[in-house]
């Protein structure tokens, strides 16, 4: 790893781990971090043997969000990429699952990174929230519409308009995250969740996720048609033949992604 690796990329089997590696700056997002997250997501999406990714932070911090020093220096635009938006992520078009392994506080932009992921495992004792209104700012990287969709308008408005943080236990109860674990178990639990996904046929996972992501954007008729298209895109693949064959032969399926 070189000094310029502010985001690291590691792969274990079919699971990739992206780690924001600026612990001295609480893993805040600057231009280099945003650019490297985007580049690593490109690599992940293009790799047929990479099926699930995890994003986390180095040390005991997830991400402090936007690097305020960069903003003060007039470099606010660098914190977003053209395709991915803030952190190279929040508006990124992704076909594969992304899990947040939240090992420290997820406030402001850190919370918006969490919300941009498909699932999240969170450490006990951290805070999750959007304190922007306390600073006469606006959470502009997706939280204002993702949070109401995730937990409903009343609870979301409380979080957004008070700026007060919530606990991981509240987030779990409200359906915002998947699990709350001790801090030293966050990455292990996120990896276990990723591996539970990665044992399944990758093309079927991607097709299913594509429809599930549109659940709040489309009407039932369009979602029914999208589900049919997803089925049609998968049924003719080699993996769709392998799944029933493995079941009949009472053995684990061997997926090829084809």
Domain presence at residue 153? yes
Both tokens of residue 246?
């493995």
Q: Give me the residue label for tokens 């914190």.
A: 79
- Based on the fold, state whether residues 140 and 222 are members of the same structural domain: no
- Based on the fold, state whether residues 17 and 141 are members of the same structural domain: yes
Task: Answer whether residue 207 shows pLDDT above 60.
Answer: yes
- Based on the fold, state whether residues 193 and 212 are members of the same structural domain: no
pLDDT confidence of residue 71: 85
Query: Residue 198 and residue 196: Cα distance in Å, rounded?
Result: 6
pLDDT confidence of residue 252: 87
Count of structural domains within the chain:
2
Q: Which of 180, 198, 216 is the last residue of a domain?
A: 198
- Based on the fold, state whether residues 45 and 158 are members of the same structural domain: yes
Better-predicted residue by pLDDT, 173 or 136:
173
- Based on the fold, state whether residues 81 and 27 are members of the same structural domain: yes
Choosing from 38, 45, 70, 132, the catalytic residue is 132
User: Tell me, what CATH number does 76's domain have?
Assistant: 3.90.226.10
For 58-115, how does the pLDDT look when each residue is reduced to its tens digit (9 = 90+)?
A: 999 899 999 989 988 888 899 999 999 999 999 999 999 999 999 999 999 999 999 9
Counting residues of the chain whose pLDDT is more than 70, the rounded percentage is: 98
Domain presence at residue 1? no
Report residue 219's pLDDT band, with 50, 70 and 90 as the boundaries: low
Domain presence at residue 17? yes
Domain presence at residue 254? no
Domain presence at residue 33? yes
Structural domain span for residue 241: 202-248
Task: Answer whether residue 145 shows pLDDT above 80.
Answer: yes
Domain presence at residue 258? no
Domain presence at residue 253? no
**DSSP E strand boundaries for the chain:** 7-12, 15-20, 52-57, 80-81, 85-86, 98-102, 106-107, 119-123, 128-129, 179-181
Taking residues 180-196, report their average pLDDT: 97
- Burial of residue 63 (CB within 10 Å: 0-12, 13-18, 19+) is buried
Q: Which of 198, 213, 230 is the last residue of a domain?
A: 198
Query: Residue 122 and residue 108: Cα distance in Å, rounded?
Result: 16
pLDDT confidence of residue 238: 85
Catalytic (active site) residue 10: no
- Based on the fold, state whether residues 67 and 125 are members of the same structural domain: yes
Choosing from 38, 70, 112, 189, the catalytic residue is 112
- Based on the fold, state whether residues 87 and 156 are members of the same structural domain: yes
- Based on the fold, state whether residues 216 and 189 are members of the same structural domain: no
Domain presence at residue 147? yes
Q: Which of 198, 216, 235 is the last residue of a domain?
A: 198
- Based on the fold, state whether residues 160 and 239 are members of the same structural domain: no
- Based on the fold, state whether residues 126 and 186 are members of the same structural domain: yes
- Based on the fold, state whether residues 168 and 142 are members of the same structural domain: yes
- Based on the fold, state whether residues 17 and 140 are members of the same structural domain: yes
User: What three-state secondary structure class fits 120?
Assistant: strand
Catalytic (active site) residue 112: yes
């Amino acid at each position: 790893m070189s000094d310029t690796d502010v985001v690291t990329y590691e792969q274990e089997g079919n699971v990739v781990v992206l780690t924001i590696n600026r612990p001295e700056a609480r893993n805040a997002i600057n231009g280099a971090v945003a650019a490297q997250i985007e580049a690593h997501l490109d690599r992940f999406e293009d790799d047929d043997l990479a099926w699930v990714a995890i994003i986390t932070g180095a040390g005991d911090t997830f991400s402090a969000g936007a690097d305020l020093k960069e903003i003060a220096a007039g470099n606010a635009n660098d914190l977003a990429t053209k395709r991915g938006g803030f952190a190279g992520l929040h508006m990124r078009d992704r076909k594969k699952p992304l899990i947040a392994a939240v090992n420290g506080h997820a406030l402001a932009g850190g919370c918006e990174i969490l919300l941009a992921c498909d699932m999240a495992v969170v450490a006990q004792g951290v805070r999750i929230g959007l304190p922007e209104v306390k600073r006469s700012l606006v959470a502009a990287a997706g939280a204002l519409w993702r949070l109401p969709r995730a937990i409903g308008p009343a609870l979301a408005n409380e979080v957004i308009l008070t700026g007060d943080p919530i606990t991981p236990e509240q987030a779990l109860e409200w359906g915002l995250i998947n699990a709350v674990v001790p801090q030293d178990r966050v990455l292990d639990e996120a990896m276990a969740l990723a591996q539970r996904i990665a044992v399944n046929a990758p093309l079927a996972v991607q097709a299913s996720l594509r429809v599930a992501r549109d659940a709040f954007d489309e009407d039932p008729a369009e979602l029914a048609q999208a589900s049919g298209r997803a089925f049609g895109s998968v049924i003719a693949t080699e993996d769709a033949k392998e799944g029933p064959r493995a079941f009949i032969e009472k053995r684990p399926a061997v997926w090829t992604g084809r």
